[in-house]
Amino acid sequence: MRKILGLDIGGAHIKSATAMIGKTVKLGKRETIPFEIFREKQRLASLLGAIMKKTKPDGVAITMTGELSDVFKSRAQGVRWILDSALKAVRRIEMRVVDVNGRLISTQSAKRNPACVSSANWSATGAFVSRWITNGIVVDIGSTTTDILPVVNGEVAVKGKTDYERLKNGELLYTGYLRTSAVAVCPEINLDGATLSTCPEHFAIVGDAHLYLGDIKPKNYTCLTPDGRGKTKTAAGARLARLVLSDSKTLKNKGITSIATQIIKAQEEKIALGIKRIVHNHGLNMAPIIVIGPGRIYLKQIKKRLNINSFPRAVGGYPVQLLDPSVCAAGLWKGDALCEGIKTS
């Protein structure tokens, strides 16, 4: 058995997970570490070093989206920064990078062709899940984005490989259950019998609506609050009221609950509609839909809106809660032609 560390380096979090690779693949536990790359890219290498020290893996499979941050002049620069930081931390252990075709390529190849590994973390999940299902759709609802990946005849059948192409084809929705600016999902709010435009400032996020309604606990609010204030119901309520230039005193609990509910409902609709489009485009009307990621809290509503699909709780024997790009990246080590021959010290 070899222990492989999977790393998913995003713009606001680093996710790490291990997989034990032998005759079978045993997926291990995941960890999410808040890390805002635009604030502290310098700290990436030492943070990864600490993860290495803790997990002591035999191999590292890495994937990323953090290179999109505007702290980097270009994606290529971001990819190289992330890979160089990782190489400093990983040192002599074999490291591979997930590419847009779901393969684990060498860091040298990745640095030569950054576009090929840029924002490819969806590909890790898609490639790993497609080993276990023939037809279906993988929906990964994260804090910032949602991936919708069709699997057709055992292959990931996405039309786009770059973020731009994925956005264009509806395979990437830039909306997530936590960090998304509330105004983006709810440009208008009905209140007091009137329709109000919400204010396009970073006043509140979708996570504030969930926190206010009790859908998530403060510890699950893993990003910064827009105003730097608390992760409490009261503070979230004040942020939500500010969306319509008001306050908790004026709107009271009833008004703020209404705002929060409208935000969540709008996002549910957005995600469900996005899934329906991909279902339709690939004729996957009866296929199972594998909903993963922390945004799985929307499952019940998605089920309602797509009422003839099945929503399996496990894939290939793995509970869906286990699946995410970091653990899938590690899992790809087994069965990847490029990695199987590698001996690790």
Q: Which residues bind a second copy (CB under 8 A)?
A: 68, 70, 74-75, 162-164, 167-169, 172-175, 180-181, 183-185, 187, 191-192, 194, 196-197, 199-203, 226-227, 229, 239, 242, 244-247, 250
CA 22 centroid distance within chain: 27
Shorter beta-carbon distance to a second copy: residue 245 or 286: 245
Torsion angles phi and psi, residue 193, rounded to 5: 75, 10
Stated length of the chain: 345
Least distance (Å) between residue 221 CB and a second copy: 17
Beta-sheet strands, E only, within the chain:
2-9, 13-21, 25-34, 59-64, 94-98, 104-106, 136-141, 146-152, 155-156, 172-173, 188-191, 194-197, 289-292, 314-315, 318-319
Shorter beta-carbon distance to a second copy: residue 74 or 108: 74
Shorter beta-carbon distance to a second copy: residue 115 or 342: 115
Alpha-carbon gap, residue 255 to 253, rounded angstroms:
6
Cα-Cα-Cα-Cα dihedral sign, residues 313, 177, 4, 18: negative
Find out whether 331 and 98 touch, Cβ atoms under 8 Å: no
Least distance (Å) between residue 303 CB and a second copy: 24
Least distance (Å) between residue 227 CB and a second copy: 4
Shorter beta-carbon distance to a second copy: residue 76 or 299: 76
Least distance (Å) between residue 241 CB and a second copy: 9
Least distance (Å) between residue 49 CB and a second copy: 28
Shorter beta-carbon distance to a second copy: residue 70 or 343: 70
Number of C-alpha atoms within 13 angstroms, CB side, residue 12? 13
Shorter beta-carbon distance to a second copy: residue 76 or 133: 76
Least distance (Å) between residue 172 CB and a second copy: 8
Beta bridge partners of 26: 20
